[in-house]
Each structure stands twice: as structure tokens, then as C-alpha cells.
Structure 1
Amino acid sequence: MEIKTKNARGLLLVLFLGQLVAFSLAAGNFASSLVANLGVNAPLTQSFFVYLLLTLVYVPILFHRRQKPRIPWYWYLAIAFIDVQGNYLFVEAYQYSSITSITLLDCWTIVWVIILTWYVLGTRYSFWQFLGAGTCVAGLCLVLLSDARSPDVQDPGKIPLLGDALVIAGTVCYAFTNIGQEYCVKKNDRVELVAMLGLCGVLVTGVQIFLFERKNLEAVAWSPTMISLFAGYAAATFMFYNITPFVLKMSGSTLFNLSLLTSDMWAVAIRVFLYQQQVNWLYYLAFAVVAIGLIIYSLNESSSGDGRAESTEAVALYQQLPSEDNSKGSCSNLDGQERKQQEEAHIC
């Protein structure tokens, strides 16, 4: 009963943190959509301020520890580079597609994460977990069907399918970064991961802004509204990067991405109540299907985790028995010899 209570509390904590991450993601998406609607196309600059904020907060803490990084710096650089490309593709997608399509389609990360964790980390999933993830993917296919059949009538200049393609490409990048972050946070601590991710992200975005985005920045009219939108995106995404390592360490990449699906509810509310735009009925059906898939997967996550933990303990115990110190083995042999000698003496 105590184990079941701990598992239930742990699952509730993970789901709660997942909702905080989902809320921060929805807030960042809202800020990015407003920036795109104002005609500004500066995705790298938006990401730059996020990484700069992470650097200013966490790098001094890392220096205060006065210890060398436990993971080579080039691994963090690779993770940051892929993460920057994923952020760029997602923010750029707002130029062509709606906030509802983008927030639903970002769940394609689940598919890539399952494939990568299966082959890279050796994670094994049950039939019900596959069924839950497959149900989520079915809901995402309804989004693609809706965007293909009904282009955005509120803005004829948008190309929904192009935006969808950018999001799906971005999910591939996010899948790699999620796996890399999960590996680093489970082998190391959270502070080093976030600090190095922020520092390397500043370097990567700074170089790419200088090469590709200087002209777009010169055309931006920096009004108080625009500055507040950039600051809001940076604050929401900063919160996202702070909580993400906790969820990755406690549950893993798959349940983390499944928990983000509830951000779609906020996206629909933003589009209906703030933008005064109609939402295709397929979006509601897609959200319902995706929510059912999340429930199926999360209910089987704890049982699968227990099975993995039990098998790991069994393997460790099995490995420990033959690897006991030779002194113990030799002592047992000596005791056996002494008992044998005593028995022979007694017989004599």
C-alpha cells in the first residue's frame, strides 16, 4: 500500500509539473503568435533572449560550485544547436499556420521520442503505452486533415500545410534534445544542464542572428508592445526550461511530451476568445482523441516504471551475488575445511 501511495503521489506530482510546463508553453506560443501577427519575423532573436536569461541565472551558480563539468562541453553544444533549430522552426511556423495547429502538431515529438528512447536508451513500452501514443497520433492526423481541407480564411496569406511541415520538422529536433536532456539530467544534475544549455544557446543564436536575421531586426519597430511581447516570450520559455528537467528526470521524455498536450486547450481558448476566430470542429475531435491517448499512456506509465525498476534491482542483485569479495568466498571455504577436519577428528 505504501508503494502504491508513493507511486500515486509521484504520478500526480509529475502530471502537475507537466501542466506547469504546458501552461508556460501555451503562454510562449501566445506571445509568438502575436509577434507574427504584427508582421515581425525574428525567431532567432526571440530564442536569444531566452538563452541569455538562462545564462545570467544559472552560469553564476555553476561558477560558484567551482567544479568541472561532468559531461563534455561539446555534448551540451550539440544539444543547444539542435534545440535552437527546433525553436526556430516552431516560431517560424507562426508565419504560415494558426496557434491551434502548431500546438497540436508539436505532439509529433512523442513519435520520435518513443523511437529514440527504444533504440538509444533501451526503454521498453507496453502494449497499452503504444496504444495511448497511437491514439494521440490519430488525433494529430485529424489536425492535418482539417488544415488541408480548410485553409485559414481569416488570413489568406498564410499557408497552413507549410506551417505544419515546419512544426513536424521542429519536433524531430525537439525529440533529439529531449533525449539528450533526459540523459544528461539523469547522469548529472539540473543546474549544469540548464546553465550549459543557456550558454551554448547564446553562442549559437548569436552567430545565426549575425548571419541570417540582421535585416529582419533592422525592420522591427521596437514599441513598448513589441518589447513586452519579446519579454513575455522569454519569461514563459524560461519557466519552461526550468521545469522541464524535473519532469524528464522523474518520468522521461515520452510522458513529458504527452503532458504538453493539454497546452492545446489553451491554444483553442486563445484563438476563440482573443482572436475572435472560429475553430474547425475537427480540432475539438482531435483534442478529445489526444486527451484519451494521454490518459491511456499515463495510467500505464507507473506500472511500466515499476516493472523496469524491479527488473533493474533483480539484475543488480544477480550481478552482486557472484561478484562478492573473494575474501568471503575464501572464508566460507576455510570454514568448510575446519568443519570437515573436526568431523574426521570426532570419528577417529
Structure 2
Amino acid sequence: MVMGFKFEEIKSKKTFIGLGLGQILSLLCTSNAFTSSELARKGINVPTTQSFLSYMLLAIVYGGIMLYRRPTIKGKWYHYCLLALADVEGNFLVVKANQYTSITSVMLLDCWAIPCVLVLTWVFLKTKYRLMKISGVVICILGVVIVVFSDVHAGSQAGGSNPVKGDFLVVAGATLYAVSNTTEEFLVKNANTVELMTFMGLFGAIISAIQIAIFERGDLKAINWSAEAAFPFLRFAVTMFLFYSLLPVLLKTSGSTMFTLSLLTSDMWAVLIRIFAYHEKVDWLYYLAFGTTAIGLIIYSMKEKDEEKQKDEQRKLLDEEGGEEI
């Protein structure tokens, strides 16, 4: 049996929440990319330090709430440690890859996170993907492929200093993103948002601090610190705090696959910002790519007839996991 759906389901509250939150997160991701570019133009290349401030903010804010409430810890510490490790290193590897390969390669290979998320959620969360979901995923990926063709058509592709190394870093980073997204979906459904954000921030800050001490200590000493230099770090931290705070809501309503697909539009939002804020001209294929990805997201978010049965099975699985001794 394949599946069935009703087009009127696209009008449901859950669908609008999933699509809307996905694009808010995508815009926040785009804002972070512009901030990172601004820092790079100033000769400041300390990506782990940027993440460290975000994790510290999460740990302080949500940790304070958790200490006030004193709830029973539902998750397992090594799940949170795995999540933080995958998140920190995924960010580090993808940012690092930009030094070696072209932005076109990064955009294309970053899509590797999508099949990884599909496999991981299918194996560990027992998520079943019917024809409608698969079709939405394929159409979203097609939108990114169109962006790549647009870059080639516009002659903006640059080879990079070491494309093979850069491409390998992107694939590794995308795989870690998939692990992070899947783990966070499991935890947000099995524990609660405050607990998740607290321990993700705590472990993320610890891992980042160790990595900074090893790789970025010299770069930090070389920075000529001033209010102008510090402001982008603060802006990045606040934006990432909002990103991580909204993410659990999307994961609860639509899952990690919807989140991963939504981030495909971040590069297209960047193009629109360049058009309207900086008055730059871009290739017409970008508009087609944005529309194609948007259609794919809408198709993916459509509700199938057996979706509730699948959710009952997932809730049963999560209850069994939660019943184990922590």
C-alpha cells in the first residue's frame, strides 16, 4: 500500500508551524553565515570560539531555569554528550571546509545530511517514509542542484586550494549534523526542552573550550579586541541561542528530516538579502531553485493517512526508552 493524503491538510495549524519555524531557523542560520563572513573579512577565524559563547549562553539561561525547577533528569548524560560533540564538530568541519573547496561544493555535499537523517531516523526512531515524504525530499534536493547549476552558469565557482580535502570535511560535517539532528529529535521527545538545552549547552561549552585551547588559543591572542570586534561575537551568540531555543519546537512537530530540509533554503535567503540589502544581481535560476525547494517542503509536510499510527509507534518506542534506568 502506498499512501494517501488530503490537500486540505496543508491548511492545518501543524503544517504552518512546521513550515514557518523551518524558515525562521533558516533565516537565523543565514544571519550566522553573514556574521561569520564579516569576521572572516576582518581576519578573525575562530569558529569554535563563536560556538563556545552560544553554548555558554544556553547553559547559563536554561541551567538557571533547571536549577530553579529542580526536575527529575530524564535523559542519559552520554546522549547529551554525543549530541554536543556531534554539533560542535559538525559546525567546525563545515566552516573549515570553506578554506579548501568551493562554496558550490559545500552547498551540494552538505545535502549528504538528508539521506543520513533518513537512515538514522528510520533505524533508531522507527520513522517510516512513504512516497509523499520521499517525493518532497527529492524535490528539495532538486532545488539545491539548481542552485549549483546557477553558480556554474554565473561563473562563480572557485576550485579552492585543496578541493578533495575540503569535500571530505563537508561530508564528515554533514554526517555529524545528521547524528546531531536525529539525537536531538529523540531527546526532545523523550526528555524536555529545558533539560535538553541545559546539557547541550554545558557539554557543548566544555568540548568547545578544550578545542579552543588546542587549536585557537594563538588566533585569539592575535585579535585586536574592541567593541567593534566583540559585537559580531555577541550577535552570533544571541542568534544561535534563538536558533537552538526554537529548534526543539520544530523537532516535536515535524521531526529532524523537516528541519534538515528547511535549512536548504538558507543559501537562497542569503541570495535574497544580497538582492534587496546590497542591490546585487543574481542569476534567475536562484528564483527557480527557491520555488522548487519551497514546493518540496510543502509536499513533505503534507499529512498522510497512516501518520497517526506511525506516531503512536514512535511514542511507544520513546516510552520504552524512557522507562529504562537512567
Deviation at 1:271, TM superposition (A): 3.7
1:143-158 mapped onto 2 (5 Å cutoff): 143-144=147-148, 152=156
Distance in 2, Cα, partners of 1:33 & 1:287: 22
One-letter identity of the residue aligned with 1:265: M
Distance in 2, Cα, partners of 1:6 & 1:283: 25
Match of 1:140 among 135, 139, 144: 144
In 2, are the aligned partners of 1:137 and 1:290 still within 8 Å (CA)?
Answer: yes
One-letter identity of the residue aligned with 1:291: A
Change beyond 3 A, Cα 1:33–1:105: farther
In 1, are the aligned partners of 2:268 and 2:286 still within 8 Å (CA)?
Answer: no
Distance in 1, Cα, partners of 2:159 & 2:228: 25
Match of 1:241 among 237, 241, 244: 244
Aligned to 1:28: 32
Match of 1:293 among 285, 293, 296: 296
Aligned to 2:53: 49
Instruction: Tell me the TM-score normalised to structure 2 length.
Output: 0.82
Q: Which runs of 5+ in 2 are unaligned?
A: 1-7, 318-326
Point out which structure has higher relative CO (alpha carbons under 8 A, 6+ apart): 2
In 2, are the aligned partners of 1:104 and 1:264 still within 8 Å (CA)?
Answer: no
Distance in 2, Cα, partners of 1:161 & 1:290: 28
Deviation at 1:285, TM superposition (A): 4.0
Distance in 2, Cα, partners of 1:311 & 1:169: 31
Deviation at 1:15, TM superposition (A): 2.0
Give the length in aligned residue pairs: 310
In 2, are the aligned partners of 1:32 and 1:91 still within 8 Å (CA)?
Answer: no
Aligned to 1:267: 270
Aligned to 2:324: none
In 2, are the aligned partners of 1:138 and 1:290 still within 8 Å (CA)?
Answer: yes
Distance in 1, Cα, partners of 2:226 & 2:44: 12
Superposition RMSD in Å: 3.3
Change beyond 3 A, Cα 1:70–1:143: same
Distance in 1, Cα, partners of 2:295 & 2:278: 28
Q: Which runs of 5+ in 1 are unaligned?
A: 317-348
SS at match of 1:176: helix
Deviation at 1:307, TM superposition (A): 4.5
Aligned to 1:195: 198
Deviation at 1:197, TM superposition (A): 0.2
SS at match of 1:213: helix
The alignment-based identity, stated in percent, is 43
Aligned to 1:19: 23
Match of 1:84 among 77, 83, 88: 88
Q: Deviations over 1:98-121 (max 9, x none)?
A: 778756764442221111111111
1:63-142 mapped onto 2 (5 Å cutoff): 63-95=67-99, 106-142=110-146
Distance in 2, Cα, partners of 1:296 & 1:255: 11
Q: Which piece of structure 1 moves more, 234-243 or 164-173?
A: 164-173
Q: Which piece of structure 1 moves more, 59-68 or 109-118?
A: 59-68
Aligned to 1:226: 229
One-letter identity of the residue aligned with 2:307: G
In 2, are the aligned partners of 1:103 and 1:267 still within 8 Å (CA)?
Answer: no
Distance in 2, Cα, partners of 1:272 & 1:166: 30
Match of 2:307 among 274, 287, 305: 305
Q: Deviations over 1:35-60 (max 9, x none)?
A: 12222210110100000110110112
Change beyond 3 A, Cα 1:149–1:38: farther
Aligned to 2:320: none
> Are 1:209 and 2:212 an aligned pair?
yes
Deviation at 1:131, TM superposition (A): 1.5
Distance in 1, Cα, partners of 2:272 & 2:166: 20
Instruction: Tell me the TM-score normalised to structure 1 length.
Output: 0.77
